[in-house]
Amino acid sequence: MAQKETDPAALDDAAQQRKGRMIFLLLAIFFIVPLLVVIAMIKLDWRPVGKSYGQLIHPPVSIASTTHWESDRHEAMPAFWQDKWNIVLIARECDASCMQRLYDLRQIYVSLYKDMIRVQRVLITQQADTRPIRERYPDLLIINGEATQIADLGRLLSGGGQNTLDAQRVYFIDPLGNIMMQYSLEQEAKWIRKDLMKLLKASWAG
């Protein structure tokens, strides 16, 4: 009995059909699966949360409304805060720990490389004579307005705890003047930098 010959054209058609089905299946997976994941996230109200090392300011506090302050460069607020991300240290008097923190902030700033132009460093203090600080950090912006104004800001940011003038915390302020994050004096500079890099990467502002 003669063996039936296989039609090469039929084999080619079958291969093409299998290839077409595989491509369709891959496209379906590529487009449909992400859609199903998004739908599930919406229905379950699930959002991925990235780790941050600072404390979120809640409710938000705006510093931009304080228009009568000026920096040591005579730049009136709120324009003072615009177009830049601000790393701000608030201290009653800039003692040894404050000066060390200013050094940390300078190291963070320098390590930003091309993103340096998007950031400025600011010291808000009640200290009247800031010449030693200016001599050591000539590119640092210093606000040493009226003592009552800075004391009011300290109470506003304390959240019912230690007054921020005594705590010497570091704050992130966005280019619109909104205070976003705070870091205690004990927080290592490398973790502050890590959070700042995330903000700069995710934000179009500044």
Instruction: Tell me the mean pLDDT per 10 residues along the chain, length 206.
Output: 55 70 73 58 50 78 61 53 84 92 96 91 88 92 76 66 76 85 91 91 69
Tell me, yes or no, whether 113 and 167 share the same domain.
yes
Domain assignment of residue 21, given as a range: 10-48
Total structural domains in the chain? Answer: 2
- What integer pLDDT is reported at residue 28 of this predicted model? 66
- What integer pLDDT is reported at residue 7 of this predicted model? 59
Q: Which residues contact 73 (CB under 8 A, 6 or more apart)?
A: 141
Tell me, yes or no, whether 62 and 80 share the same domain.
yes
Tell me, yes or no, whether 22 and 61 share the same domain.
no
pTM value is: 0.68
Whether 3 is covered by a domain: the verdict is no
Tell me, yes or no, whether 80 and 37 share the same domain.
no
Tell me, yes or no, whether 69 and 133 share the same domain.
yes
SS (H, E, C) 128-163: CCCHHHHHHCCCCEEECCCHHHHHHHHHHHHCCCCC
Which residues on neighbouring strands pair with residue 181, listed in sequence order? 56, 172
Tell me, yes or no, whether 88 and 22 share the same domain.
no
Tell me, yes or no, whether 111 and 15 share the same domain.
no
Question: For strand 141-143 and strand 119-125, is the pairing parallel, antiparallel, or unpaired?
Answer: parallel
Whether 117 is covered by a domain: the verdict is yes
